[in-house]
Structure 1
Amino acid sequence: MFKNAYVTLVNSPDYVIGAVALKRSLVRVQAQAPLICIVVPHSCDCKVLVDEGCLVKEVDAPVFSESFCLRHSREFLHNREPFDKGDKPDFHNPLNNFCKLLLWTFDEYDKLIFLDADTLVLKNIDHLFCYPGFLAAPNVYNELDGFHRMNSGVFVAEPSQLIYKEMLDKLDVPGAFWRRTDQTFLQEFWPNWHGLPYIYNVLQHLFIHLPELWRWDEIYVIHYQYEKPWQKNTFKKQLKPLIDLWWAVYQLQDVDTMLERLIADDS
C-alpha cells in the first residue's frame, strides 16, 4: 500500500489562513491523502492547523552561509530586480522558500504533492500521485514565454534523503544566486521538469493578462501569486471573482454554485 500526502509550507503566521483554506479546498474535492504543513518551530500557531485536520511537521530550516542569506534577502532581491508584475506582501520572506526542499526528507512517504499555501484545489488531483516525480507546471501569467519556465507552487516529488543531500550540495555554493529562490533552483536541479499542464497550477494574473487561457471548467488548482486574497485592500479589482471564490472556500460557502455560475459566464 503506497503512502502519499499533500504538503504545504507555512513559514509565517500570515500563511496560516492560506493553509486553512487550502485544507478546506482539499476536503471539498474529497482528496484521499492528508495535508502536511511544514512549519519552522515558533514561526506560527500550529494549533489552528491541527484543529483543521492538518498534520504538522516542525522542522529546522536549512542552515545557509551568511553570504547566501544576504544574496537571497528580500531587500537584495528587490533592489537587484524589483518585482514589477504584482505586489509581494510585506510578510513574504524569500529565504524561507527554500524550506520546502525539506519535503525530500519525508521518506516515510512514497509520493508527495506540494501545494503553496496560497493555492486552492478546485478539482480532485489525487491521480497525480500515480505520476513519477519530479513534475511541475509552467510559470504562465502574463506572456506565453512563461511556458518555458517552471513554477514551484505545485509539483509532484518522490522523497529521498540522498536527493536532499544532493540539493544542499548544489544550493549554497560560493557565489550561488537563485533569482526566484527555490523556483530557480528546482528548475536547474530538475532540467526535465516539464509534465504538468498549466491547468494544474493556474496563476491568478493569467485571469488579467491572458484571459483566453482562463477556462473555469478545466482548472484544477488556482495559485494566488503576488497579492494574497486574505490581504485587505491590496488585490486588483479585475481579480474580484477569484478573491470571492477564495473567501467562499475559506468560509465554507456554496462553492459549487459559484463555480457553476463562473463556468456559465465563460460559455
Structure 2
Amino acid sequence: MNVTRVHDESYVTLATNENYALGALTLGQSLRNTNTNRRLTVLITTEVPQLLVDQLKSVYDFVELVDVLDSQDSANLALLKRPELGVTFTKLHCWRLTQYRKCVFLDSDCLVLHNVDDLFNSEEFSAVSDIGWPDCFNSGVFVFRPSLDTYSRLLDFAVSQGSFDGGDQGLLNAFYPNWNRLSFVYNMTTNASYSYAPAYKQFKNTVKIVHFIGAQKPWYHTYNLDTQNVIGNVTVHEGDLINQWWRVFTQWVLPHLNNETKNRMRVQLVSRTPLVEQQQSQLVQQQEQQGFHQEQPQEQVYATGKVVGGVEIGSDVHKQKWEHGQIEYTGRDAFANIQAHLDAQIKK
C-alpha cells in the first residue's frame, strides 16, 4: 500500500548488536503494518553485522551508524543487575537527527499493534509512567524534538550529574523533570511481575504498543511454527503478546534472513514444516562439511536427566547450548525426541 510520508517526522529506534537488530526489524515491520505515514529511522553500532544492516535498509527509510556511548557507571548499574544497560546512553544520539522536526523513540524490544501516528501531536517531552516507580517515566517510548543544543546539554548533564540508575532512563528523568504523561497503552510492559492482570483483561484491545522489558526478550523464547505458540513458562497474557511478536517475525522477517544470520541469531524454532526441515538440513550439511559428527535420533532419548553426547538433558549446560544456538537438530534435539518427551509428560 502506497503511503504519503511526512518527511520531517520519524519513528526512531536503536540496535546495538545483532539480537537487537532482530528486534528492530520486527518493530519496523510492525510499524509498516499499521500504515504509518511517518518515516522510520534506526541507529546502529558496529556490532550489527553488514548482512543485517542491508536488511534493515529494506525496512527503514534511514539507517545511521553511531558510536557507542557508555555511562561507565558500574555501581549504579549493579543495583539494577543489568550492567549491559550502560550502552543505552547511545540512545542520546537520537537528538542529533536534526533533519526531523519531531520524533517518537521506540526501544527495539517494542511491538506496535495499532497505528500510533497521533503521538506526533504530543510535545517534547512526552512519555509513559514506569510501572516500577510511576513518578518516573519509562524511556522505552517517548516523544522528543531533535536538537544539537539539547544533545550537547544532555552530554554535559550526563558528565556532571550522571544517572541515578546508571542507564538512560535515570538520566532522562533527571533532565526532563516536567514531562507530559501519556496513556499506558502507548508503552504497556509485559513482565508478569509488573502487569496488572485484571486491567490487561479489561483494556487489552486498546493497547497500541507492547514493550518487552527485562532480560528475556521474545527472540530468546522457543516458538512452535505449527501451533504458533511460544514454548516455555510464561503467563497467559505474556504468552499471547510474545506470540504476536513471533507472528510478525516469522511472516515478515524470517523469510528474508540469510542462512548465516539464522544460524547466528538466537532464534529458536520448532516445527515439522518444510521451512524448518530445510533449515535443519542445511545446518546438518554445513556441520558435516566442517567435520562435525551428529548422533542419530533415538526413540525416547529426550528425557530429562539422561546424558546424550556428554550433555544432560534439561541441565543448565543444555539450556545454555539452546540459548547460544548450539542445537543438535539431527541428534539430541531432533523434533522427534522433543515430541517424545512432550508425549511422556502429557501421559504423566
What's the TM-score once normalised by structure 2's chain length? 0.61
C-alpha distance in 2 between matches for 1:178 and 1:136: 18
What's the secondary structure of 2:220's corresponding residue? coil
What's the secondary structure of 2:150's corresponding residue? helix
Does 2:56 match 1:49? yes
Alignment of 1:1-267 (within 5 A): 3-45=8-50, 46-62=53-69, 69=72, 71-72=73-74, 76-77=75-76, 80-83=78-81, 93-140=84-131, 146-173=133-160, 176-205=162-191, 209-214=195-200, 215-226=203-214, 227-232=216-221, 236-238=233-235, 239-252=238-251
What's the secondary structure of 1:34's corresponding residue? strand
C-alpha distance in 2 between matches for 1:196 and 1:206: 22
What is the percentage of aligned positions where both structures have the same residue?
28
Question: Structure 1 counterpart of 2:118, which letter?
Answer: H
Q: CA deviation at 1:77?
A: 4.7
String of CA shifts for 1:184-230, please: whole Å, max 9, x gaps: 11011000123211110000025874112212211010000011001
Question: Structure 2 counterpart of 1:229, which letter?
Answer: P
Contact 2:26–2:111, Cα closer than 8 Å, also in 1: yes
- Partner of 1:263 in structure 2? none
Pick closer, same or farther for the CA change 1:51–1:209 going to 2, 3 Å.
closer
Contact 1:229–1:235, Cα closer than 8 Å, also in 2: no
String of CA shifts for 1:208-257, please: whole Å, max 9, x gaps: 7411221221101000001100103696421211211111121238xxxx
> How many correspondences in the alignment?
232
Question: Structure 1 counterpart of 2:8, which letter?
Answer: K
Contact 2:7–2:38, Cα closer than 8 Å, also in 1: no
Contact 2:163–2:170, Cα closer than 8 Å, also in 1: no
Query: What root-mean-square deviation, in Å, do the aligned CA atoms of Structure 1 and Structure 2 show?
Result: 2.4
- Partner of 2:336 in structure 1? none
Instruction: Out of 238-247 and 222-231, give the one that drifted further.
Output: 238-247
C-alpha distance in 2 between matches for 1:168 and 1:48: 31
Question: Structure 2 counterpart of 1:216, which letter?
Answer: K
Question: Structure 2 counterpart of 1:187, which letter?
Answer: N
Q: CA deviation at 1:42?
A: 4.5
Larger radius of gyration: 2
Question: Structure 2 counterpart of 1:246, which letter?
Answer: W
C-alpha distance in 1 between matches for 2:170 and 2:96: 20
Question: Structure 1 counterpart of 2:64, which letter?
Answer: K
C-alpha distance in 1 between matches for 2:100 and 2:61: 16
Instruction: Out of 130-139 and 165-174, give the one that drifted further.
Output: 165-174
Q: CA deviation at 1:167?
A: 0.7
Instruction: Out of 3-12 and 92-101, give the one that drifted further.
Output: 92-101
What's the secondary structure of 2:134's corresponding residue? helix
Structure 1 unaligned residues grouped into runs of 5+: 254-267
Contact 1:95–1:181, Cα closer than 8 Å, also in 2: yes
Pick closer, same or farther for the CA change 1:204–1:54 going to 2, 3 Å.
farther
C-alpha distance in 2 between matches for 1:57 and 1:49: 11
C-alpha distance in 1 between matches for 2:98 and 2:168: 20
Contact 2:189–2:195, Cα closer than 8 Å, also in 1: no
Pick closer, same or farther for the CA change 1:2–1:33 going to 2, 3 Å.
closer
Structure 2 unaligned residues grouped into runs of 5+: 1-5, 223-230, 253-348
What's the secondary structure of 2:35's corresponding residue? coil
C-alpha distance in 1 between matches for 2:76 and 2:175: 21
String of CA shifts for 1:33-56, please: whole Å, max 9, x gaps: 122110123543311211334421
What's the secondary structure of 1:151's corresponding residue? strand
C-alpha distance in 2 between matches for 1:97 and 1:207: 23
